[in-house]
Amino acid sequence: MRANKKFKGFIALLMALLILMSGMAGTAVATSDALDEQPALTFSSIYFADLNYGVDWENNWSNPPSQVLTITNIGNTTLTGLDTTLVYCPYSDSYWIDFDAFEITTPLSATTLAPGQSATISIRPVPYLPPIAMLFFGSELVFTSDCGLAQSIGLGVTIIHRRDRSEAQPALTLSPIHLDFDYLRNNSDEWRDPAYHVFTLINTSNTTITGLNATLTSGSWFDYNSKSFEVVRPLSGTALAPGQSATIAIRPMPYLPISNSGPDYWGDLEITSGCGLVVNAHMTAYVMGRRDR
């Protein structure tokens, strides 16, 4: 009986030792796995063009465009609680600043990234940075996560004064700016099928002008809302490089009623552009009876 008890005690001791050793082995493996975790991010390239406050329509000094930055988890562990912070550089090019020079326009698209996954964030310079010639503004975008990751990327932009480079000066010329279609004889071929005239638009500036659009408004002294002119060939281009031209053809409407008091039919051509330039031309016409000449 005593031997049996000793045997049972030995078995219990052996099992306890096995459990203890198993626990120690598990702890060792877990510690090794933790040491192997290597959180890391990589960043895409990001570039901000110079902003020329003297040529706002060209460089968007008052409304700078956003740039997209892509981050990728190149570590071997999932990153959670990803967050961003913009840190301004208090000393930029011999000029003391105490404000952020950049702002986030679209927040980070994900706060959790498994290994190999990516997320994006959009940043831009803040509008109306101080207009001091050749001044460089810098900031730092810092990324953090729950596991203690802290990585950053530098951001920078230079403000250029208009005298520092050739200034873009959009300009358009429309010709002619006034046209009298003269007399249209009632019941004649020219009255039934009036000839058209071509208006020419020229980009006389040193920068490309886009978003060109033509609008024709017409009427008469006795019916302001009537349509007395029509476009027979629309504006031939919506964007003009320096020196390029576009045309639009317009004529009086066929079968206009006789007018006895002068050029009673009028038309206004307005051409607008994406940069805010507007040019105009005015036209008139008169219909007379056959007995007038």
Per DSSP, 163 falls in state: G
- Residue 261 is part of a domain; what is its CATH number? 2.60.40.10
Asked if residue 283 belongs to a domain, the reply is yes
Asked if residue 157 belongs to a domain, the reply is yes
Q: Are strands 51-52 and 150-160 parallel, antiparallel or unpaired?
A: parallel
- Per-residue model confidence (pLDDT) at position 84: 95
The list of the chain residues with pLDDT below 50 reads: 1-3, 5, 19-20, 22-35, 57-58, 91, 93-94, 163-165, 291-293
Asked if residue 3 belongs to a domain, the reply is no
- Per-residue model confidence (pLDDT) at position 164: 41
Asked if residue 223 belongs to a domain, the reply is yes
- What are the beta bridge partners of residue 34? none
Which of 114, 140, 164 is the last residue before a domain boundary?
Answer: 164
Q: Are 104 and 159 within one domain?
A: yes
Total domain count, the chain = 2
Terminal Cα distance for the chain, rounded? 148
The residue whose two tokens read 């000393």 is: 91
Q: Are 158 and 222 within one domain?
A: no
Q: Are 158 and 258 within one domain?
A: no
Measured CA to CA, the distance from residue 269 to residue 257 in angstroms comes to 22
Asked if residue 123 belongs to a domain, the reply is yes
Indicate if the alpha-carbon torsion angle 25, 29, 32, 34 is positive or negative.
Answer: negative
Task: Give the number of C-alpha atoms closer than 13 A to the C-alpha of residue 287, restricted to the C-beta side.
Answer: 23
Which of 123, 144, 164 is the last residue before a domain boundary?
Answer: 164
- Per-residue model confidence (pLDDT) at position 25: 43
Tokens linked to 134: 């050749």
Q: Are 116 and 207 within one domain?
A: no
- Per-residue model confidence (pLDDT) at position 171: 84
Q: Are 61 and 138 within one domain?
A: yes
Over residues 172-227, the pLDDT tens digits come to 888 888 888 877 777 777 788 888 899 999 988 878 999 999 999 998 877 666 78
Q: Are 58 and 160 within one domain?
A: yes
Q: Domain of residue 207: give its range.
A: 172-292
Question: H helices within 37-103, ranges in order?
Answer: 56-59
Single pTM value for the model = 0.46
